[in-house]
Amino acid sequence: MNVYEKIGLKRVVNASGRVTILGVSTLSDEVAQAAIEGGQSYVVIDDLINRAGEIISGYTGGEDSCVTSSASAAICLTVAGLISKGKKSIVDRLPDSTGLPNEIVIQKGHSIDYGAPMPTMIRLGGGVPVEAGTANEVVPEDIEEAITENTVALFYVKSHHCVQKGMVDIETMRDIAHRHNLPLMVDAAAEEDFRKYIALGADLVIYSGAKALEATTSGFVTGKKEYISYVKKQYHGIGRPMKIGKEGIMGLLKALERYENKDREKEVAENIAKVQYLCEEISKIPGLKAEQIQDEAGRAIYRARVTLDTAETAQGTKSAAQINQELRGGDPQIYARTEFLNLGKIDFDPRPLVDGDKELIVKRLREIMEG
Ligand SMILES: *Cc1c(COP(=O)(O)O)cnc(C)c1O
């Protein structure tokens, strides 16, 4: 029995991915140990935040970095930082930014809900989101014309949740921002390359700690030293309810160290092998077909996509929504990805599966289909 079962909750087979609703990722012994040790001593927190920033920057190429409790907190604190520009009187009054430049320009197809709405995170930091263009088409002119004397930053979101076509690319966003003497913020929360966007010339880049890094619940923003200093000041203002504890910071630093030394190609190969097993075995179940697909945002993430074999489903078998409901209803509860459920597709992410999970998924699907 795991600790959650001991308090009366069902075990979860996570075939969904690094998602908040299931607890994102699990900790390695090394990361858990770093968090334990971090929690067992005192330290001057401002010094820890500064030192953690230096260490994180060694992994990102940023001039400095600021550790946060999540990527969402990093978005809020970055917006707040750019509005206050380090001025104490503004730090003290945020999130009230009345009368101050406070607009954040974001492409409409990037104004997503990743589990919570992006505009909420901007507003929480005192910002006003200004959506440029339309949901499926944004051109450079839309961005240019959205910029006013109240603009404090341009915001680019790199995510599979975003509209992938018809958006202005990151290089163009960077050039427009810099031509207007504005910083470009990038949300790369779930990305796996911690250097790429700094190298591309982004001024502030945001990551989540528990996603690719499999760290303790955390996040960080990395980039230009001056802007990062504005972000850090928020811990004496609106950042207080978003504080990250010393144990969380030490877990993050250990996870960064581990990630740097990890054999990622081997991990991808192992995940592909799991996907292939799922595709072969699920396709043997009458009424189901499965194929390997790649992540929509182009990351090296492969998943098994299950579709209903329409020739068979025409004879009154279950819908994808029903199958998904039955997967979740059992014990353990099996959580697949449901972004394309309305199109009759159920996706299985191999990354969070533990030993025995993939066999269990096949067994349960067979039971569900055979009724
Ligand atoms: C997950 C995610 C976030 C939020 O990350 P948290 O660390 O959970 O706050 C923000 N933006 C994008 C694009 C994400 O995928």
For 140-170, write each residue's pLDDT tens digit: 999 999 999 999 999 999 999 999 999 999 9
The CA-atom distances, in angstroms, between 197 and each of 21, 261, 323 are 27, 21, 40
Domains and CATH numbers, the chain: 3-22+263-370 (3.90.1150.180), 43-260 (3.40.640.10)
Q: What is the pLDDT of residue 311?
A: 58
Question: Judging by DSSP bridges, how do beta strands 184-187 and 204-208 pair with one another?
Answer: parallel
CB 35 within 8 A of CB 216: yes
187 lines ligand 1 (CB under 6 A): yes
| 172-184 residues labelled b (16+ CB within 10 A) or e (exposed) | ebbebbeeeebbb
Taking a C-beta distance cutoff of 8 angstroms, is the pair 296, 164 a contact? yes
155: enclosing H helix or E strand: strand 151-157
How much distance in Å is there from the Cα of 205 to the middle of ligand 1? 12
Tokens, residue 223: 């980039």
User: Burial, 328: exposed, middle or buried (Cβ in 10 Å; 0-12, 13-18, 19+)?
Assistant: middle
What's the predicted TM-score (pTM) here? Answer: 0.94
> From ligand 1's centre to the CA of 194, what distance in Å?
15
**Mean pLDDT computed over 282-292:** 95
pLDDT per residue as tens digits for the range 203-227: 999 999 999 999 999 999 999 999 9
What's the rounded mean pLDDT across residues 314-333? Answer: 87
Closest Cα to atom 12 of ligand 1:
189
Any ligand 1 atom below 6 A from CB of 147: no
User: Which atom of ligand 1 sits closest to the CA of residue 219?
Assistant: 7
Q: Does the Cβ of 219 fall within 6 Å of ligand 1?
A: yes
Q: Does residue 156's CB lie within 6 angstroms of at least one atom of ligand 1? A: no
Verify whether ligand 1 is closer than 6 Å to residue 347 (CB atom).
no
Q: Is the CB of 20 under 6 A from ligand 1?
A: yes
Kindly give the distance from the C-alpha atom of residue 188 to the centroid of ligand 1, in angstroms, as a whole number: 8
Question: What's the CA-to-centroid distance between 159 and ligand 1, angstroms?
Answer: 9
Residue reference for tokens 């507003």: 123
Confidence check: pLDDT of 313 > 60: no
3-state SS, 41-80, equals CCCCHHHHHHHHHHHHHHHHCCCEEEEECCHHHHHHHHHH
